[in-house]
Structure 1
Amino acid sequence: MKAFTLAMEAYQPFNEQEAKDKQLFLEQLANNPKFFTRESALAHVSVSAWIVSPNRQQVLMDYHNIYQSWAWLGGHADGKTDLKKVILREIAEESGLTDSHFLSEELFSIEVLTVDGHQKRGSYVPSHLHFNCTYLLEADPKLPLRIQPSENSQIGWIAVQQLPEKVSEKWIQKNIYQKLIAKVNRDFALPE
């Protein structure tokens, strides 16, 4: 956890949301020894992947069963602090994609996200917070994909300009996905 704490301390926020959420991350890291596990029921670490096509015009998303929306891939840390390994596992589990690569070795984005109470595998999961860490990856849209029925009902590449009409979680679309698109355009745009 020490390496992650140092990475979080060094993280340069992109906007006010990230600056405020960084402070919340640091408070949890200092005071919550179960932060990386779901034993910390009210607030725990999750990880997401923003997977872009080589031309940066598409993102890989799944139609998430719980949220009933197109969403990025990801999951819980479940006690692991090497979040890059966690996200590669989650990508493979949720999409079948095993040939993606990091465009940056560093955290790409951070956000504290609300999760409404829901049913999962026949049990109620109460409302809580995901302290989410996002990594930026690239993959070839021609690679084979498959759904993970316990997690999603569709998987596919979506053009970034179509996200507003595809994503039904409007707050996430406006505040998180648009932020990620802006960061890709700022830091990873292709030369013209």
Structure 2
Amino acid sequence: MDFKEQIKEFIPDNDQERQDKKILVQYIELFPHNVLLRDNEIAHITSSGFIMNKALDKVLMVHHNILNTWAWTGGHADGDEDFLKVAIKEAKEETGIKKVSPLFDHIASIDILPVPGHIKNGQYVSTHLHLSVAYILIASEDEKLVVKEDENSGVKWIPVERFTEDYFNSYDVYLYNKLIKKARDYIKKNLKSTLIS
């Protein structure tokens, strides 16, 4: 399916997702030639992976070098229209895990994320926006974790109870708890469907 159609088919759960989806759709129309590329220095599409364990009570995170905080995995689309493939590739590269699969194949969340100005590979990168298309991914806690030193300084499973303002900024608390709820709601809904049929 065309990436624009996937985004249009995404059903927002709240005002933030409705507004961010509206802006993303408009931005794609304005910049169809480079919305998937870093050449668009104002904003470009990225694909994020929110990696949970099978029990949905822990999240696999990396300690991000640029942001200097624990964060989910993800990366630039770099022209690839298969956002799920990008999210899975980035999840593996950034954590060292070998097996990861989506909880479901459709987009879990659309979020516009600010990226502060920083130095990357000796070059200054101006403040810009990541137009994040996110997926909920599932991996085993038994997987060996490996730090990707050029991007992060740590990889670990974090219990869901830690997603509070004691450990994360308020927007990340909102974002991560939103995804935890979506994962758990999906499992509850599908468990009920299985029991009914």
Range of TM-score over shorter length = over 0.9
Instruction: Describe how 1:118-129 pairs up with structure 2 within 5 A.
Output: 118-129=118-129
Q: TM-score, normalised by structure 2?
A: 0.91
CA RMSD in angstroms comes to: 1.7
Deviation at 1:164, TM superposition (A): 2.1
Q: Partner residue of 1:162?
A: 162
> Cα distance 1:166–1:123, how it changes in 2: closer, same or farther (>3 A)?
farther
Residues 71 and 167, structure 1, Cα contact 8 Å, conserved in 2 = no
**Residues 69, 166 of structure 1: 8 Å contact kept:** no
**Whole-Å separation in 2 of the counterparts to 1:34 and 1:132:** 15
Which stretches in structure 2 are left out of the alignment for 5+ residues?
A: 193-197
**Is there any run of 5+ residues in structure 1 with no aligned partner, and where?**
none
Given that 2:92 and 2:100 are in contact with CA atoms closer than 8 Å, whether structure 1 keeps it comes out as no
1:167, distance to aligned residue in structure 2 (A)? 4.2
Asked if structure 2 preserves the Cα contact closer than 8 Å seen for 1:115 and 1:130, the reply is: yes
Q: CA deviation at 1:109?
A: 0.7
**How big is the shift at 1:10?**
1.2
Q: Is the CA contact 1:117–1:128 (under 8 Å) kept in the aligned structure 2? A: yes
- 1:150 aligns with 150
Name the CA distance, whole Å, in 2 between partners of 1:42 and 1:182.
31
Equivalent-residue separation in structure 2 for 1:41 and 1:17 (angstroms): 23
Q: Any conservation in 1 of the 2:103–2:183 contact (CA below 8 Å)?
A: no
Measure how far apart 1:76 and its partner are: 0.6
Aligned residues: 190
- Report 1:16-27 matches (<5 A): 16-27=15-26
Q: What CA distance in whole angstroms lies between the structure 1 residues aligned with 2:68 and 2:187?
A: 30
Q: TM-score, normalised by structure 1?
A: 0.93
Distance (Å, rounded) in 1 between the aligned partners of 2:123 and 2:167? 26
Q: CA deviation at 1:139?
A: 0.7
1:115/1:171 CA distance change after superposition, 3 Å: farther
Equivalent residues in 2 for 1:78-89 (5 A)?
78-89=78-89
* Cα distance change on mapping 1:129 and 1:62 into 2, 3 Å: same
Matches within 5 A, 1:153-192: 153-164=153-164, 167-168=167-168, 170-189=169-188
Distance in structure 2 (CA, Å) of the matches to 1:50 and 1:109: 10
What is the DSSP-based 3-state SS (H/G/I as helix, E as strand, rest coil) of the residue aligned with 1:8? helix
